[in-house]
Amino acid sequence: MEPLNRPYQTGATAYAAALDQGLRQHMLRVYNYMGAGLVITGLVAYIVGTTPALYVPIFQSPLKWVVMLAPLAFVFFFSFRLHAMSASAAQMAFWAFCGVMGLSMGAVFLQFTGASIARTFFISATMFGAMSLYGYTTKRDLSKFGSFLMMGLIGVVIASIVNIFLGSSALQFAISVIGIMVFVGLTAWDTQNIKEQYAENYDQESQQKLAVFGALSLYLNFVNIFQLLLNLTGERE
């Protein structure tokens, strides 16, 4: 019986190896999209935040509300339209979103010191990398934490909107602490979801869109960890 089983075992092993290689390439594509998106956001934020001709008309006028709320509008757009878009359209929309996010984050360079921004970025990158690696490698099913994390996310969003009008430093501190824990958890959860959603029988168009959507999820987690951590520990100008 062993000789008869050997071809089956060899085929199964080859399939598993090919699937594993495809998954690694898919995850690399996701991280590349995310990294490129962060570069775009950082460059736009730096240019806007250090150029008076740009930040004065944006942040010293009612236009700041449009800039601040535009990323949220993009997220809703992605949620409802991504599956109906082509892969190239989804990719272009992602780059546009990263640019708009950079506009809204230009204020960071007006409020915090450069050294503080750099330090917080590296701390955020370390936290994000560790949790994403955990989400990718763990055998533990993280799906049971999904509903809890989503409830926490909704709570953080609602509290953040309320605090725009209240301006409470105590509430902002609580939002930052809870928000960091929520987005750190979402990083591991989203990474595991991206890994599990991958399937070799997807056509190239579907895999491309899946990579863009995965990059968007991880990008949002990283940006929120960075912003909340900066609000919590950043040194203001």
User: Using CA atoms, how far apart are residues 17 and 9, in angstroms rounded to an integer?
Assistant: 12
pLDDT value for 31: 95
Asked if 117 and 230 count as a contact pair (C-beta separation under 8 A), the reply is yes
Neighbours of 207 (CB within 10 A): 19
Q: How many C-beta neighbours within 10 Å does residue 197 have?
A: 13
Q: Which residues contact 77 (CB under 8 A, 6 or more apart)?
A: 93
Q: Indicate if the alpha-carbon torsion angle 167, 168, 169, 175 is positive or negative.
A: negative
Give the lowest-confidence range in 61-65, 99-103, 164-168: 61-65
Weakest-pLDDT range from 63-77, 107-121, 220-234: 63-77
Query: What pLDDT does residue 1 have?
Result: 47
Query: What's the angle, vertex CA 221, arms to CA 219 and CA 224, rounded to 5?
Result: 105
The first and second tokens of residue 43, run together, are 């460059």
Taking the alpha carbons of 99, 49, 219, 68 in that order, is the dihedral positive or negative?
A: negative
The reported pLDDT for the residue numbered 58 is 78
Asked if 30 and 211 touch (Cβ cutoff 8 Å), the reply is yes
- Judged against a pLDDT cut of 70, whether residue 116 lies above it is answered with yes
Instruction: Say what the pLDDT of residue 201 is.
Output: 58
- Is residue 68 scored above 80 in pLDDT? no
pLDDT tens-place string over residues 27-38: 999 999 999 999
Q: 46: how many CB neighbours lie within 10 A of its CB?
A: 17
Res 40: pLDDT:
95
Tokens 């995310």 -> residue:
34
CA dist 27 and 29 (Å) reads: 5
